[in-house]
Each structure stands twice: as structure tokens, then as C-alpha cells.
Amino acid sequence: MPLRIPRYLLTTISRPQLITLSDPLRRHFSITPNQDMKIAITGARGTVGRAVVKAAADAGHATVQVDRTDTEYDGTPNSEMKTADTANDFDATLNAFRGCDAVIHLAAIPSPIDKGDDLVHNNNVNSSFNGFRAAAELGIRRFCYASSVNAIGLEYATRPLNFDYFPVDEEAPQRPTDSYALAKDEAESQARAFARWYPGMNIACMRIHAVAPRSEAQKGQLENWDSAAVKSLWGWVSAQATARACLLAVEKAEKLNGTEVFNVVAPTTTQDIPSRELAQKYYPDAEIRGELSGNQSFFTTEKAKRILGWVHEEKE
């Protein structure tokens, strides 16, 4: 039967058309680079969401700003506002994504503090699934999911942390012991499943650290050293750098191999104390791979640089 191919998959047509593909092509059609996209952005009024909307608009993309509650138009050029509770309303999510070429899925409960484990876990797992499923059903193959460095088990862990090595890369063992980390771990598993379920769908899972200016993150960590600093490995990332990473993930989706995970962290810690000294004091059993010199981050972002061309340029 005829298969509808979204316009961003075909460089020779300007609008979606009905064409017939052989079964092998239907199962394995690929993404063609296209810089003129309509991007659905969930959680668009959050800290990262606002930065992503601005970055997308500055790059010339049209945007659909999706939020859980009704939101007035904010004046962003070539943008529209839609309402969808991605965790609890699949049909509304589907309608919000309809007509889009890519999705940047940021909507989630951002912290488990003072919230029930069932609410945090179930909301975030449902939200990720509904986002993946809606995009897949609509034929949207460019997808960026806001995962977290906590997917390996980190700041909210209920058991002592241990790390096999520093700096942490995307292959590090995942050992969640809290509802938030477990939900992010499971969402990444969902992403891998959807890439198998819908061949040609490319999903970037962005393991984002605490989004804040360095000075703000440093202040918060000093006020709560054991959990906010030691258990988060003294990391931070700017909102603008995070937005660039998310946008690159959908702009360069053709470079992904199904589902890929990327660390999105600043190249330095929040501390002036040398990173090697912190590692030896708090995680003496972890292997140090490479120099870990100065206040170098405990996370490597080499993969994001190599595949997406992403670099965290902000110093603050």
C-alpha cells in the first residue's frame, strides 16, 4: 500500500507526497540532511526549552512549543503554541507533533526532591514513551530526548556511589538506585527499542548535567557539598550550550546510528580544586584514564564533539 514520506526525507520534493516503496526501502529508508525544519519542542517554557526555542528560531527553523498547560504566544518568529501533557495524554501529544519534521523532547519532572517516587518514575517513563511513540507513528525520524547524567545513578542515589573510571563516558555502567535515575535509564532503553522497532528513526539521548551558570552551580554545590557536589561529580552545563547540543542532534540526525547517547556537560568542574585531587579524596577506587588535569570535568564529551560537532564554549 502507498507510504507517506515526510518532506524532510526527500530532497527532490517540497511537500509530502504519496509514493510507493518496495518493502526493503520501506523498512530502511534513510534521513536526508535538511536545515529547514519544523521542530516540536516539549517543555518549551522551561529553562532549557526557552533556550532551545531561541536557538531553533535563530537558525531559521519553525517551532511548535508544546507545554502541559495553555501558554500565550511569546512572539517567537515562525512559532506556534500547543498544549499536551505528554505523560498522560498520548492523543494530544500526537496532535502536537503532527506536521513536524523533528522533536526535541524536554518535558519531564526535573527533580525527585519532595515528590513521590511513583509520581517521578511513572510520569517520566510515560512521557518518554508517549513522545517516542507519537513521533514514530507520524514518521518523524529526527528525535532528541533529554536524558540526564543521572541515568548512570548519581545525585539522587540512595546507596553509596562508585565509579569504575574517570572521566565518565557514555559506556559507563548504569547503576540507578532512585526513581529519577531509573526513569532516565528506562527511557534510554525505550529509545534503543524504538530505533529497532522503527528502522530509520534516529534518536539522540542527551545526558544533560545540572543546567545553570557556573557560579550559580558552584554556590549550590558549596551549600550542599555531599549531595549536590560530590554525588554530582562537581558538574554543570550552560543552558545555551545545552540548547545547541539538542538542536545539533536533530540537524545532524543522519549521523546517528539508530540511538546514540551523548554526555552534555561543561568541560570544567565548578571547583578550583584540581579534579585529580577530588577523585583521589572521594572516589579513590576509580581508575583515572588520561590526565584529568586542572579542573577538568569528570565527564568526557568527546563523542558529542566527534559526531555532532558540539563544543561547550561558555565559561559561565
Instruction: Specify if 223 maps to a domain.
Output: no
- pLDDT of residue 116 exceeding 50: yes
The mean per-residue pLDDT over the stretch 125-148 comes to 98
Q: Could you read off the pLDDT of 283-311 as tens digits, one per residue?
A: 999 999 988 999 999 999 999 999 999 99
Q: Could you read off the pLDDT of 72-82 as tens digits, one per residue?
A: 999 999 999 99
Alpha-carbon span 51 to 184, nearest angstrom: 22
Instruction: Specify if 282 maps to a domain.
Output: no
Q: How many of the other CB atoms lie within 10 Å of CB of 265?
A: 28
Instruction: Specify if 204 maps to a domain.
Output: yes
The CATH number of the domain holding residue 81 is 3.40.50.720
Phi, psi of 209 (to 5 degrees): -90, -175
Q: In the prediction, which pLDDT does 129 show?
A: 98
Half-sphere exposure of 284 (CA within 13 A, CB side): 1
Instruction: Specify if 280 maps to a domain.
Output: no
Q: In the prediction, which pLDDT does 290 show?
A: 86
Instruction: Specify if 25 maps to a domain.
Output: no
- pLDDT of residue 261 exceeding 70: yes
Instruction: Specify if 26 maps to a domain.
Output: no
Alpha-carbon span 67 to 69, nearest angstrom: 6
Q: In the prediction, which pLDDT does 6 show?
A: 46
* Average pLDDT across the chain, whole number: 91
Q: In the prediction, which pLDDT does 35 show?
A: 65
Cα 104 versus chain centre, distance:
8
Instruction: Specify if 73 maps to a domain.
Output: yes
For residue 264, list its beta bridge partners. Answer: 208
Tally of structural domains, the chain: 1
Q: In the prediction, which pLDDT does 33 show?
A: 54
Confidence of residue 118 (pLDDT cuts 50, 70, 90): very high
Q: Could you read off the pLDDT of 188-229 as tens digits, one per residue?
A: 999 999 999 999 999 999 999 999 999 999 999 999 999 899
Q: In the prediction, which pLDDT does 195 show?
A: 98
Instruction: Specify if 135 maps to a domain.
Output: yes
Cα–Cα distances (Å) from 297 to 243, 258, 300, 306, in that order, read 19, 28, 7, 17
Phi, psi of 62 (to 5 degrees): -80, 150
- pLDDT of residue 258 exceeding 80: yes
Q: Are 247 and 59 in contact (CB under 8 A)?
A: yes
- pLDDT of residue 70 exceeding 70: yes
Q: Is the pTM of this model over 0.85?
A: yes
Q: In the prediction, which pLDDT does 291 show?
A: 87
Alpha-carbon span 11 to 243, nearest angstrom: 26
Phi, psi of 270 (to 5 degrees): -85, -5
What is the extent of the structural domain holding 177? Answer: 31-212+238-267+298-308
Q: Could you read off the pLDDT of 11-34 as tens digits, one per residue?
A: 333 333 333 333 333 333 345 555
